[in-house]
Structure 1
Amino acid sequence: MCRGRKRGTLDGMSKDVGLFGPDSVTWKLHQEPILMMGGLRSLYLQALHPRAVAGVAQNSGYRDDPWGRLIRTSDYVGTVIYGSTDEVHRAASRVRRLHAGMTAVDPGTGERFRIDEPDLLRWVHVAEVESFLTTGVRAGVRLTPEEVDGYYTEQLRSAELVGLDPSTVPSTAAEVEAYFAAMRPELELTRDGAEAALFLTVPPVPDHWGGLALRLGLTLGPARWAYLGVASTAIGLLPAWARKIYGGLGWPTTDLAAGLSVRGLRALIAAVLATLPQQYQVAPIRRAALERAGLA
């Protein structure tokens, strides 16, 4: 649990603050908008698992509706973190039903496999929570070693939602490091992975986003270059071994540059949010959670 000032009282709370609540490390970390970059980093990391990325390529419409898929994924994560207990379990039930009906073919062996295999679910979960945590810490969020382990332990609840046995999921920083070390021989950059990474780095601009001038501006103008900077930072935040699989360099200077960049982006986001009206400074789902906790 997070130590420090008391964020709320039981008298001020409703009976339902979801899976985590205001004194959790999860709420402390996920209040940071920079964690959006953590989501992008996790996709690059997940794409290095041949079966995981094949499952996405063969079942997902991410090429046809990349932004819609990103929004739906972000909504799910936000619901798990800040939703009421009923909202969380309804969202998780939808995801489990969706995954239960999906299969894919292993590009290396030709074997057909289920998308909801525990090994695949575990890889996606660990890559995601480790990316959120690493991005937040590298951006300057201060967490003690106990809080870092506490975050992983709290996230066992998220793992259980998608059908994993919590006892099979890494729950401390040391266990996550050992898990990645054990997984590295299975990871490689397949054609599906390379295409997914390229798509993440240079995503298309939807035709319905305004006229030709707007689309050209987003494709070739400052917005495109700004996004490329964000994508490059997300790649730079990957572990050195993951960057090497992508054909990049594992130099410490890359880690340093990515750390400076993500800290700068965090400061920039905070400065921009400070100029907005108060009702736009906090995501609606987090605001609802704060209200239920008596902290609005």
Structure 2
Amino acid sequence: MLADLRESLGAALFKRVAGPDGAATRARIHDTPGPRWFDSTRPIRVVHGDASMFIGGISALLLQSLHPMAMAAVAAHSGYRGDPWGRLQRTSTFLAVTTYGTAMDAQRAVDRVRDIHERVRGVAAEGRRYHAADPHLLGWVHAAETDSFLRAHQLFGARPLDALGCDAYVADTARVAQALGVVDPPRDRHELSQRLSEYRPELRATAEARAAARFLLLQPPIPLVARPLYAGLAANGVASLPPWARDLLRLPRLPVIEGVTVTPVGRALTHAIRWAMAPPPA
């Protein structure tokens, strides 16, 4: 009975994240022989393979939305409202391929994304032009994502990294960022913190950013039965944000309540996801 529950939950979660062809894609990523960008000892494999990514992903989207030009590009071109699951599946596949796939497949995935970015251009509501291939915008998206994934992993991961491991994770992600067109990406936590600080004067919660936050936190496209579980993940995605980002998005801070209730819920949920999605015992 418990094994059946585990199998059904794991399959449902995996299908949502990886899509209907997820099993075939996973087999291709992991079973194709050849050199990889990252060997089995690298921290990026630990972080990106952990259930804490469910929380880190929500936090990353909220944080990334605070750059007006990046958010304008997402609102106009990403289709996150019309096809949110498709966008999630494409993002998770990209992360999996670049983290675990062969070097050849990783480069192909990067080339596809760069081709898409090259075509994404437009004018934001305030009249400024944006281009998704702009190294400055790419640098913000990368820094926000790396910080969010690492924060979530250190709070909710099964194997939090030590200080050297955290720096090595940032260095690993820089390999992918540079391939995508980021100029001089941060390579340790100190540089990452500095880079985020450098972007802060440019950040604000536009109407598009607030709409994205409402969609992520209050109007998720998931069945009613799963909404309480998602609410727990989303609450921890918010709690994982830097305080200044929460202030910009006008998301309340309740440190005592979060420490007593929200964080333990996040740990319980990530443990449950980890249990459901783990391979069955041999």
Distance 2:84 2:247 in 1: 26
Q: Secondary structure at the match of 2:112?
A: helix
- Report the TM-score when normalising by structure 2: 0.81
Amino acid in the other structure paired with 1:185: P
Distance 1:56 1:177 in 2: 24
* Equivalent position to 2:72, from 54, 58, 62: 54
Q: Secondary structure at the match of 2:246?
A: helix
Answer yes or no: is 1:119 the counterpart of 2:136. Answer: yes
Answer yes or no: is 1:232 the counterpart of 2:235. Answer: yes
Partner of 2:225 in structure 1?
222
Q: Mark the CA change 1:170 to 1:253 in structure 2 (over 3 Å): closer, same or farther.
A: farther
Answer yes or no: is 1:148 the counterpart of 2:166. Answer: yes
Distance 1:14 1:62 in 2: 31
User: What's the CA shift for 1:113?
Assistant: 2.3
Partner of 1:199 in structure 2?
215
Distance 1:254 1:138 in 2: 16
Equivalences for residues 59-208 of structure 1 within 5 A = 59-108=77-126, 110-140=127-157, 141-165=159-183, 168-201=184-217, 202-205=219-222
Q: Quote the sequence identity (%).
A: 34
Query: Structure 2: 5+ residue runs without aligned partners?
Result: 1-30
Q: Secondary structure at the match of 1:113?
A: strand
- Report the TM-score when normalising by structure 1: 0.78
Partner of 1:267 in structure 2?
271
User: What's the CA shift for 1:16?
Assistant: 2.8
Amino acid in the other structure paired with 2:201: P
Answer yes or no: is 1:24 the counterpart of 2:42. Answer: yes
Equivalences for residues 241-252 of structure 1 within 5 A = 241-252=244-255
Q: Give runs of ≥4 in structure 1 deviating > 6 Å.
A: none
CA RMSD of aligned residues (A): 2.1
Amino acid in the other structure paired with 1:161: A
Q: Mark the CA change 1:248 to 1:38 in structure 2 (over 3 Å): closer, same or farther.
A: same
Q: Secondary structure at the match of 2:141?
A: helix
Bigger-Rg structure (1/2): 1
Deviates more, 1:263-272 or 1:194-203: 263-272
8 A Cα contact 1:237 1:259, kept in partner: no
**Aligned residues between the structures:** 249
8 A Cα contact 2:55 2:237, kept in partner: yes
Deviates more, 1:143-152 or 1:222-231: 222-231
User: What's the CA shift for 1:169?
Assistant: 1.5
Query: Structure 1: 5+ residue runs without aligned partners?
Result: 1-12, 206-217, 280-296
When you count helix as a share of all residues, which structure comes out higher?
2
